[in-house]
Structure 1
Amino acid sequence: MTAHPNDSSDPADESFASSSLSAESGGRTALRMERRLAHPPQRVWEAITRPANLARWFPSEVSVDLRPGGEIGFHFPGDSGPGMTGKVTDADEPRLFAFTWSEDHLSWEITPDGDGSRLTLVHTFGDRFGAASFASGWQVCVTALAQVLAGGPVDVEQDRRGTLHEAYLARFGELTRGRVEETGDGGLRVRFERQLVRPAETVWSQLTGGVEPLTGSPVPPGFTADNVPAGPVTDVRAPRLLAYAWHPEGEVRWELGTGTGHGPRLVLTQTGPRGFDTDGALVAWRARVEELAAGLLDAE
């Protein structure tokens, strides 16, 4: 899905002229983002490859042996651990700088564009549902990069509220749609996965309405959706999991696991026998997840 740069009401328009997601081999995803910079390629090259310049806009401190096969290291300020390492895959001055970072691959391509440059970032990764977190993070970073190139102070507002993250989720619309899966025992599963923008405790509070559920108790309304029956709670582990029966052969399950940057990763499933109304469930649960996500933007 390609972004629409003329929609000035979208906060995701402020940095990148375009952004898109594509499916790659092996179940990986490529995030492609482009921005025009008012500086020649050599100047941009120095800003994205020299550690002293990278330290001003990149999300970690970087050390690099700038040659194909050279080692690149990443260390987050305040982290007492050994940091992470990767390998430089391309170093074609002043055109292409690419490297691995853990299991991800980042490619920064610089092409002349009039009296400036066009910078294209392609970030390839395995966690497809982390794409909006990655996109919003790179927008903040590249906004800072532009300020470094301009020679002024770096003054970039972080996406602490999650507005930018949600704007990218809206752009990458496929990330908000659920899917239907086989369960392996002849049944079906409706599954939604979504990165949320508040801590798990905040999400849990929104879902429970402040009344802690117990096994056997009625399901708090926050965990339900229109036209989906709700039996008693069958499993609860605050603030990470709640499950309940909706059918003698089916379960609804809310799980809040480890996420990317902003908060927990929600995995919401409804299982049931073959023939249950999966189309209706997709509509009902998408509406409920969107309602939850909108409410979290205003949550403390």
Structure 2
Amino acid sequence: MNETAGPPQDPRDATLTTADGRAALRMERALAHPPERVWTALTDPAALGRWFPAEVALDLAPGGRIVFRFPGAEDGDPSTKGVVTAVDEPRLFAFTWGGDELRWTVAPEGRGSLLTLVHTFGDLPGAASFASGWHLCLAALARSLDGGPAAAGQDRGALHEAYLHRFGLDRGTVESVGETGARRVRFERQLVRPAEAVWAALSAGIEPVAGLPAPEGFTADGVAAGPVSEVRAPHSLTYRAEPDTTVLWELGEGTGHGVRLVLTQTGPAGFDADAALAAWRTRIERLAAELLRL
């Protein structure tokens, strides 16, 4: 597979919106082929197999089943199955995929077509993974229609990070905790490497030990590390920090692109959470940049 790096350039007009706890990713691609040819590429299993990284079986009718067979995936995995919800040849093809909803529309544009994908899902922090994956699939689809080599490329992380910043997914939040006025800084961010690689980058060869100060890599500017209270390498680290706060790093299951980071710092009402928010955002950006070099 080819590596793909650099900022998003194609498809055009990728947008992300949220409503009622769901996120909607919209991506468009202008194609130099009539809607009928694009429709075949979207709905014929043999044509799908030339650009989509899974074997697809489907009953092309509302209520029909659609199944995605990825290499190594278990047949019983519900995330590989869905139901066709709309078919209007050659304009509209929609289906569910696990808990997600996908809607493909094809419209005439000049001598070709405008293909639009709207992918609706519940995992907002995973949006950059979905966007970078569809980016590569749509590029492969265009190559397939043009008669060229259509295998989807592979993103080593730069494309993912470009979409992450484009959608503002690098920003944390400040939350109120309970009735005491306590404040919590929270970041949830999809990373592009597995937990073991992220833990190694954070620890830099100095493994955390309960009762000793947290290694510098787990801290941010202005966060004075106190003793580690709990460590479960390579998945979590908890330590005390001044002034009277608790920092928790968690590396859990993500989208498959890499590990999901959840970082919190919780303190009393007087805790300067806004300053901590800026400091942790800078620290996580440094970590993300380091992971791209691995």
TM-score range, shorter chain: over 0.9
1:217-232 equivalences in 2 (<5 Å) = 217-232=212-227
Contact 2:53 2:152 in 1 (8 A): no
Who is 2:8 aligned against?
12
Who is 1:4 aligned against?
none
Task: Return the TM-score normalized by structure 1.
Answer: 0.92
Task: Return the TM-score normalized by structure 2.
Answer: 0.94
Question: How far did 1:263 drift?
Answer: 1.0
Please tell me whether residue 94 in structure 1 is matched to residue 90 in structure 2. Answer: yes
Q: 3-state DSSP class of the match of 2:26?
A: strand
RMSD over aligned Cα atoms: 1.4
Q: Percent identity at matched positions?
A: 62
Q: Summarize deviations over 1:199-234 as a string: whole Å, max 9, x none.
A: 111110110011111101121111101112211111
Who is 1:292 aligned against?
287
Q: 3-state DSSP class of the match of 1:217?
A: coil
Q: Summarize deviations over 1:270-295 as a string: whole Å, max 9, x none.
A: 00011311110110000000010001
Aligned partners of 1:10 and 1:55: how far apart in 2?
26
Letter in 2 for 1:243: T
CA distance 1:98–1:188, shift in 2 (3 Å): same
1:112-261 equivalences in 2 (<5 Å) = 112-159=108-155, 161-173=156-168, 175-186=169-180, 187-247=182-242, 249-261=244-256
Name the stretch that deviates more: 237-246 or 56-65.
56-65
Contact 1:75 1:82 in 2 (8 A): no
Of 41, 50, 57, 2:44 maps to 50
Question: How far did 1:249 drift?
Answer: 4.5
* Number of matched pairs: 287
Question: How far did 1:86 drift?
Answer: 1.1
Structure 2: 5+ residue stretches without partners: none
Question: How far did 1:64 drift?
Answer: 1.1
Q: 3-state DSSP class of the match of 1:56?
A: coil
Q: 3-state DSSP class of the match of 1:62?
A: strand
Contact 1:17 1:35 in 2 (8 A): yes
Aligned partners of 2:270 and 2:53: how far apart in 1?
48
Q: 3-state DSSP class of the match of 1:210?
A: coil
Who is 1:36 aligned against?
30
Aligned partners of 2:52 and 2:19: how far apart in 1?
25
Who is 1:262 aligned against?
257
Letter in 1 for 2:215: P
Of 100, 105, 130, 1:104 maps to 100
Q: 3-state DSSP class of the match of 1:57?
A: coil
Structure number with greater CO (CA < 8 Å, separation at least 6) is 2
Structure 1: 5+ residue stretches without partners: 1-8
Who is 1:71 aligned against?
65
CA distance 1:156–1:63, shift in 2 (3 Å): closer
Contact 2:51 2:152 in 1 (8 A): no
Contact 1:247 1:272 in 2 (8 A): no
Aligned partners of 1:122 and 1:12: how far apart in 2?
17
Aligned partners of 1:10 and 1:80: how far apart in 2?
33
Aligned partners of 1:10 and 1:211: how far apart in 2?
33
Contact 1:12 1:168 in 2 (8 A): yes
Q: 3-state DSSP class of the match of 2:255?
A: coil
Contact 1:197 1:262 in 2 (8 A): yes
Q: 3-state DSSP class of the match of 2:291?
A: helix
